[in-house]
A and B are shown apart, each in its own frame.
Chain A
Amino acid sequence: MKLNRQIKDNFAGYLFLLPWLIGLFCFTAFPMLASLLLSFTDYDMITTPKWTGLDNYISLFLDKRFYKSLGVTFRFVFISVPLQLAFALLVAVILKRNRRGTRIYRAIYYLPSLFGGSVAVAILWKQLFNKEGVLNQFLKLFHIEGKNWIAEPGSALNTLIVLAIWQFGSSMVIFLASLKQIPMDYYDAASIDGAGKAAQFFRITLPLLTPMVFFNIVMQFINSFQSFTSAYVVSGGSGGPLDSTLLYSLYLYITGFQQFDMGYASAMAWILLLIIGAVTGLLFLSAKKWVYYD
C-alpha cells in the first residue's frame, strides 16, 4: 500500500517535472556543459578549441583585472541588493491596498524598471550625473560644486548602484504579489489584540512574507553578480574610467567577445558560478533559521 503510494507520488512528480526536464536536456544542459569543457581549452571562436587543461584557471588567478572586477562586483552586489530590497519592500507595503490612487502610484514606481538597459537609459543617466547634469544643478542651489559623477573613478560605480536601486520595480511587484498571500483574518485578529501598524508588520507581515523575501534575496544576488547591461551601456562597453565599473560579467564579455578568448571567458563564468553557488548555498542554510513555511 505504502509502496504503491510512493510510486504514484514519483509518477506524479516526474510528470509535472517533465517539461522542465526536457528543457534541461534539450536546451540548457548542452550549452552549460559545452562551456565547462571550453573552459579547459584555448578557444577563440574561429579555430577549433585546443585542450589546455587548467591553464585558463591558472592565468585567471594571476590576472590583476580579474581581482579588480571581483572587487567591483562585490561592492556593487553587497550595496545595491540590500538597499534595493529594503526600498522595494517599503514601497510594496505602502502601496499594497487598492486605495484611491495606488494603481497609478504603483505604475509610476514601476516605470523605471520598464526601461531595462536600453540606450535611452545610458543617455538619461548622463543627463542626471554629468558635470552639467541635473544632480549638479540641484547641488548648485546649495552652492555645492558637483563633479562629473560618471567620469570620476571614485564615483562611477556609485551611479550604477543608484541605477540598480532605481530599478527596484521587479522586487516590488513580487512583494506585492506575495503580500496578498497573507490571509486578512490574521490582521483582523491582530487588531483585536490591539497591535499597532508597526507591530503588525513585524509580527505578521514580515514573518509570513519570508518565503518571498528569501526568493528576492536569492534572485537579486544571482542576478546582481551577473549584472552586465547597465555598466555596459553607461561606460560605453569599457568598464571605465580606470576599470572602476568593470563588473565581472562585463570583463567576461570583453575577454570573450572583444579579445576572442572564449575559453578564458568560460573559465571566468564557471568561477562565477561557484561564487554565486556558494553565496546561494549560504543563503539556503541560513533560511532554515528565518524563513517560515506554513
Chain B
Amino acid sequence: MVKSKISKGIKVIMPHVLIIFFGLIMLYPLLWMVSSSLKESTEIFNSDHFLPTKITFSNYIQGWKGMMGVPFAKFFGNSFIIVVFSILGNVCSALLTGYAFSKLQFKLKKFWYVIMLGTMMLPSHVKLIPTYVVFNKLGWINTFKPMIIPTFFATNGFFVFLMTQYMRGLPKEIGEAARCDGCGPFNIFLRIIVPLSVPVITTTSIFTFIWTWNDFFTQNIYLSKVPLYTVSIALRQFTDAMGHSSWGAMFAMSTLSLIPLLVMFIAFQKYLVEGITAGSIKG
C-alpha cells in the first residue's frame, strides 16, 4: 500500500524532474548571459566564476544610454513599431491566402501554390540588391516601410504555407455543414475558419515577433540613421571585430531585449493550445 503510494509519487514527480533537468541544459546559456550582464566587464570572460562576485548594474546603465545621444529606449520603440505592424500584416495576409489555398477551388490553384513554395527557396542574399533598388525607387530607404509593407502582401511564404496546412487539417464537415446552411466563402472564412485558427494565428504572431525582433540583415540595410536604429542593429554596435567590444553592455541589452519576447510568449502561449474547444464546433 505504502509502496504503491511511493511508486505513484515517483511516477508523478519523475517527469517533472526530467523536464527540469533538460530544461536547465536548455537554460544554461541564458543564465550565463544574465550572469555576465551583472558582472564587472573584466570578470565576464573569467570562466572561474559562473556567478558574479559582485553584482553591478553598470552594464545596464551604460547600455541603456544608447549611442550618439540616442537612448536605447528609442531602439526598443522602433523595434516595437516594426513588430506590431508586421504581425498585423502577416496574420491578415496569411489568413486570406491560406484560406484560398486550402479551402477554395479556383483555376491555376496548383500553379500558384508551386510558385508560392518556390519563393521560399531562393536564398535572400541574391534578392537583396534588386529588392533594395525597388525600395529605393519607392523612396522607402530610411523608413520602416521595407520591413512592414511587404508583410501585408503575404510575401513570407512560411506563414502562407503554415496557414494552408493548418486549414487543410481542419475537419471537412465544418465547411460543408456551413455551406449547406447557405454560407458563402466569406462567411465561412470569418465565422468558422478564423475562430478555429486561433492557435495558428498565435503561432504566426509569435514567430513574426521573434524573427522581426531579431532580424538585423534587412534592418541594417534599410535603416541608416541612428534615431531609426532598432534593437537588433543597436546590439551589433556593441561588438566590433576591429575594435573594442562592450560585452557587458551587449549582454545587458541582449538580456533586456529578450524580456519582451519572453513576456509575449508566456502571455500568448495558452492560445496555442486553447483556442475554441473542438467539441463546440460540432454542435
Is the Cβ of B266 less than 8 Å from the Cβ of A219? no
When chains A and B are docked, how far (Å) is the Cα of A257 from the Cα of B105? 43
Q: Which of B101, B130, B184, B200 has the most CB of A within 10 A?
A: B130
Q: A107-B265, A276-B121 are in contact. Are A31 and B134 (CB under 8 A)?
A: yes
Identify which of A20, A115, A280 contacts B153 (C-beta below 8 A). A20
Inter-chain contacts of B154 with A (CB < 8 A): 19-20, 23
| B76 interface hit (Cβ, 8 Å) | no
Inter-chain contacts of B158 with A (CB < 8 A): 219
Is the Cβ of A173 less than 8 Å from the Cβ of B278? no
> Which B residues between 110 and 151 are near A, CB-CB below 8 angstroms?
112, 115-131, 134, 150
Identify which of A109, A177, A184, A273 contacts B118 (C-beta below 8 A). A273
Is the Cβ of B262 less than 8 Å from the Cβ of A107? yes
Inter-chain contacts of B235 with A (CB < 8 A): 118-120
Inter-chain contacts of A107 with B (CB < 8 A): 262, 265-266, 269
Interface segment out of the listed B23-31, B56-64, B80-88: B23-31
| A200 interface hit (Cβ, 8 Å) | no
Is the Cβ of A94 less than 8 Å from the Cβ of B15? yes
Is the Cβ of B26 less than 8 Å from the Cβ of A109? yes
Is the Cβ of A112 less than 8 Å from the Cβ of B100? no
Q: A20-B154, A32-B119, A262-B129 are in contact. Are A13 and B203 (CB under 8 A)?
A: no
Is the Cβ of B97 less than 8 Å from the Cβ of A12? no
Measured CB to CB, the nearest residue on chain B to A214 is B165
Is the Cβ of B250 less than 8 Å from the Cβ of A24? no
Is the Cβ of A108 less than 8 Å from the Cβ of B26? yes
Q: Contact flags (1/0) for B7-42 with A, using CB distance below 8 Å?
A: 000000001100100110011111011000000000
A11 CB to nearest chain B CB (Å): 8
Interface segment out of the listed B65-73, B166-174, B222-230: B166-174
Is the Cβ of B272 less than 8 Å from the Cβ of A13? no
Measured CB to CB, the nearest residue on chain B to A274 is B121
| B155 interface hit (Cβ, 8 Å) | yes
When chains A and B are docked, how far (Å) is the Cα of A268 from the Cα of B125? 11
| B75 interface hit (Cβ, 8 Å) | no
> Which A residues between 11 and 29 are near B, CB-CB below 8 angstroms?
12-14, 16-24, 26-28
Q: How many residues of A contact B (CB 8 A)?
A: 100
When chains A and B are docked, how far (Å) is the Cα of A114 from the Cα of B185? 37
Is the Cβ of B199 less than 8 Å from the Cβ of A178? yes
When chains A and B are docked, how far (Å) is the Cα of A134 from the Cα of B31? 13
| A146 interface hit (Cβ, 8 Å) | no
Q: How large is the interface on B (under 10, 10 to 19, 20 to 34, 35 or more residues)?
A: 35 or more
Inter-chain contacts of B49 with A (CB < 8 A): none
Identify which of A32, A106, A132, A257 contacts B269 (C-beta below 8 A). A106
Measured CB to CB, the nearest residue on chain A to B160 is A20
| B242 interface hit (Cβ, 8 Å) | no
| B275 interface hit (Cβ, 8 Å) | yes
Inter-chain contacts of A60 with B (CB < 8 A): none
| A86 interface hit (Cβ, 8 Å) | no
| B107 interface hit (Cβ, 8 Å) | yes
Is the Cβ of A114 less than 8 Å from the Cβ of B274? no
| B191 interface hit (Cβ, 8 Å) | no
| A81 interface hit (Cβ, 8 Å) | no
Is the Cβ of A294 less than 8 Å from the Cβ of B171? yes
Inter-chain contacts of A293 with B (CB < 8 A): 168-169, 172
Is the Cβ of B269 less than 8 Å from the Cβ of A116? no
Measured CB to CB, the nearest residue on chain A to B19 is A105
Is the Cβ of B126 less than 8 Å from the Cβ of A177? no
When chains A and B are docked, how far (Å) is the Cα of A270 from the Cα of B155? 19
When chains A and B are docked, how far (Å) is the Cα of A14 from the Cα of B106? 7
Q: Give the interface of A toward B (CB within 8 A).
A: 9-10, 12-14, 16-24, 26-28, 30-32, 34-35, 38, 45, 94-98, 101, 103-121, 123-125, 127-128, 132, 134, 166, 170, 173-174, 176-185, 208, 211-212, 214-215, 218-219, 222, 225-226, 228, 236, 249, 252-253, 256-257, 262, 265-266, 268-270, 272-273, 276-277, 280, 293-294
Can you name 20 A-B residue pairings with CB atoms under 8 Å? A9-B106, A12-B104, A12-B106, A19-B92, A19-B97, A31-B130, A97-B273, A98-B270, A111-B262, A114-B265, A116-B215, A170-B207, A173-B206, A177-B166, A177-B272, A184-B277, A184-B279, A218-B117, A252-B126, A294-B171
Given A120-B251, A124-B33, A184-B278, 8 additional A-B pairs, CB 8 A = A13-B106, A16-B185, A23-B154, A28-B119, A112-B29, A173-B207, A214-B165, A226-B123
